[in-house]
């Protein structure tokens, strides 16, 4: 009787451990896809619009004339910065909300 209970407990523990591993493996999908973040959404507040406003963070680049540590003359650098953008899928609403600091000195363009 004791061996049967121990064997049953072992089988149940293995089943539980297996079920914890199966769901994440099934939910993963394509290995090249990686983890995709869901964008923030809200209803559009424009008049006569029933669309959904989506917010995304994108990378933009600005041109910056500077002298870098590798060169001794002024030239252009490509400097990345992040911006939060909202846009509606039904109307023409679009807005830039938040500017994040740039990564100075950026990428030297003459190389």
Tell me the pLDDT tens digit for each residue of 32-81.
556 666 677 888 888 888 888 888 888 888 887 777 777 777 777 777 88
Task: Tell me if 10 is assigned to some domain.
Answer: no
pTM over 0.75: no
Please give the tally of structural domains in the chain.
1
Task: Tell me if 59 is assigned to some domain.
Answer: yes
Task: Tell me if 95 is assigned to some domain.
Answer: yes
Task: Tell me if 24 is assigned to some domain.
Answer: no
Angle at 79 between CA 77 and CA 81, to 5 degrees: 170
What b/e sequence results for 77-95 when a residue is b if at least 16 CB atoms lie within 10 Å of its CB, and e otherwise?
bebebeeeebbbeeeeeee
Task: Tell me if 70 is assigned to some domain.
Answer: yes
Task: Tell me if 76 is assigned to some domain.
Answer: yes
Q: Indicate the Cα dihedral angle 6, 12, 17, 23, nearest 10°.
A: 170
Task: Tell me if 46 is assigned to some domain.
Answer: yes
Query: Which domain covers residue 64, as residue numbers?
Result: 32-108
Exposed / middle / buried, residue 105 (Cβ in 10 Å: 0-12, 13-18, 19+): middle
| Statement: residue 106 has pLDDT above 80 | no
Task: Tell me if 6 is assigned to some domain.
Answer: no
């Amino acid at each position: 009787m004791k061996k049967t209970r121990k064997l049953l407990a072992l089988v149940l523990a293995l089943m539980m451990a297996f079920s914890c591993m199966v769901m994440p493996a099934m939910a993963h999908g394509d290995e090249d896809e990686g983890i995709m973040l869901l964008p923030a959404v809200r209803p559009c507040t424009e008049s006569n619009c029933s669309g959904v406003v989506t917010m995304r963070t994108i990378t933009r680049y600005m041109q910056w004339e500077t002298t870098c540590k590798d060169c001794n003359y002024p030239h252009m650098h490509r400097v990345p910065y992040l911006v939060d953008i909202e846009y509606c899928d039904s109307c023409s609403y679009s807005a830039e909300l938040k500017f994040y600091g740039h990564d100075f000195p950026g990428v030297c363009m003459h190389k």
